[in-house]
Structure 1
């Protein structure tokens, strides 16, 4: 779980990613994930099972020295 509830971490196909953004972006907007993928924010909010965190996002996050969950 995130230590910062306003940190936006979308789940795509069971993989939780990291973004640079804080808070949920507006529905329909596209955000870039740290791993370089793009994600279009849905207008629906729903619970998605998380199988694991994106290793590429985590690696980039660690390189930047950002230890947010």
Structure 2
């Protein structure tokens, strides 16, 4: 089964939150831009965390077994 990236989910949530902030600040373009940037950062962080956890579970093949 193929694992999917969290980047798309992060962008979608970031745009939603950024739109709300943009409307509240009366600057929708800035809010959406900030939301996308935050969403990409969160998605990349979640992807890296998941990759690190899956790498920790794999057995170490460099144990020197010649």
Common fold, TM-score beyond 0.5? no
Specify which structure has the higher proportion of strand.
Answer: 1
TM-score (norm 2): 0.24
Specify which structure has the higher proportion of helix.
Answer: 2
TM-score (norm 1): 0.23
